Chains A and B, each alone.
Chain A
Amino acid sequence: GAGVSQSPRYKVAKRGQDVALRCDPISGHVSLFWYQQALGQGPEFLTYFQNEAQLDKSGLPSDRFFAERPEGSVSTLKIQRTQQEDSAVYLCASSPRTGQGAGEQFFGPGTRLTVL
């Protein structure tokens, strides 16, 4: 069956460029998470959507990071004026339910962003 997909898989950007990373969650999944994984580290939470509502954006590192999920399915993470410290793998995860009973999160393959 179709899992979580992300595109592009790899992105190279020059410092100062804007980038947009796409996530297609599993169909029907209510919850969608974005995580950032720096080299050699575990993933760190960025933001959470329940359907189209962004309920938690406490992990976004700066106002250059923006995420949306306008129709409650596909989500886009946008990074404006990229900096070298933004280089990381960006992981998207979805879950069929919400709250503590949300069960496991299903992860996509990630987008590896390199900022030169």
Chain B
Amino acid sequence: AQKITQTQPGMFVQEKEAVTLDCTYDTSDPSYGLFWYKQPSSGEMIFLIYQGSYDQQNATEGRYSLNFQKARKSANLVISASQLGDSAMYFCAMREASGAGSYQLTFGKGTKLSVIP
């Protein structure tokens, strides 16, 4: 089974509008972390926002917020007031304990967001 599922290969949003990028996850580990990264065409992965499994409140970072619904195992990213520079690939990722203790990230396949002027 996929650990991270991003069902939207591509999304379009009008400039200045809000957009929600979907992410569902699968884990049996009670302690885990959820991340969103942005990857522009230049290729570098840029950290956006983090949500811990025990965090009571949804994470927010500027125009980014994470809609964390633990029972549904979803961690959707909401971008408010979209800007042209938001056009990029967006990856949802999960960190959980590994047997070797590396706590590596497992990524989804990504969503390509295009902001329309």
A residues adjacent to B (C-beta < 8 A): 33, 35, 40-45, 48, 55-56, 58-59, 89, 91, 93, 98-100, 102-110, 112
**Would you call B107 and A42 a contact (CB within 8 A)?**
yes
For the complex of A and B, 5 pairs with smallest distance between CB atoms: A42-B107, A48-B102, A56-B100, A56-B102, A107-B45
Q: Say how far A36's CB is from chain B's closest CB, in angstroms.
A: 11
Q: Which residues of the other chain, B, contact A89 by a CB distance below 8 angstroms?
A: 43
The answer to the question of B80 belonging to the interface, with a C-beta cut-off of 8 Å to chain A, is: no
B residues adjacent to A (C-beta < 8 A): 4, 31, 33, 35, 37, 42-47, 50, 91, 93, 95, 97-98, 100-110
Q: Say how far B104's CB is from chain A's closest CB, in angstroms.
A: 4
**Would you call A43 and B44 a contact (CB within 8 A)?**
no
**Would you call A58 and B107 a contact (CB within 8 A)?**
no
From B31, B104, B107, B108, contact of A59 by CB (8 A): B104
**Would you call B45 and A43 a contact (CB within 8 A)?**
yes
How many residue pairs between the two chains, A and B, have CB atoms under 8 Å in the bound complex?
A: 71
Q: List 21 A-B contacts (CB under 8 A).
A: A40-B109, A42-B4, A42-B110, A45-B102, A45-B106, A55-B101, A55-B102, A56-B98, A56-B102, A91-B45, A93-B105, A98-B101, A102-B95, A102-B103, A104-B47, A105-B47, A107-B37, A107-B44, A107-B45, A109-B44, A110-B44
**Would you call B105 and A99 a contact (CB within 8 A)?**
no
Q: What residue of chain A has the Cβ atom nearest to residue B47's Cβ?
A: A104
Report how far A100 CA is from B44 CA in the complex, Å: 23
**Would you call B43 and A100 a contact (CB within 8 A)?**
no
Interface centre among B100, B105, B106 (most CB of A within 10 A): B105
Q: Which residues of the other chain, B, contact A110 by a CB distance below 8 angstroms?
A: 43-44
Q: Which residues of the other chain, B, contact A98 by a CB distance below 8 angstroms?
A: 101, 103
**Would you call A42 and B104 a contact (CB within 8 A)?**
no
**Would you call B103 and A106 a contact (CB within 8 A)?**
no
Interface centre among A33, A41, A93, A105 (most CB of B within 10 A): A105
Q: Which residues of the other chain, B, contact A91 by a CB distance below 8 angstroms?
A: 45
Report how far A100 CA is from B97 CA in the complex, Å: 7
Report how far A113 CA is from B22 CA in the complex, Å: 31
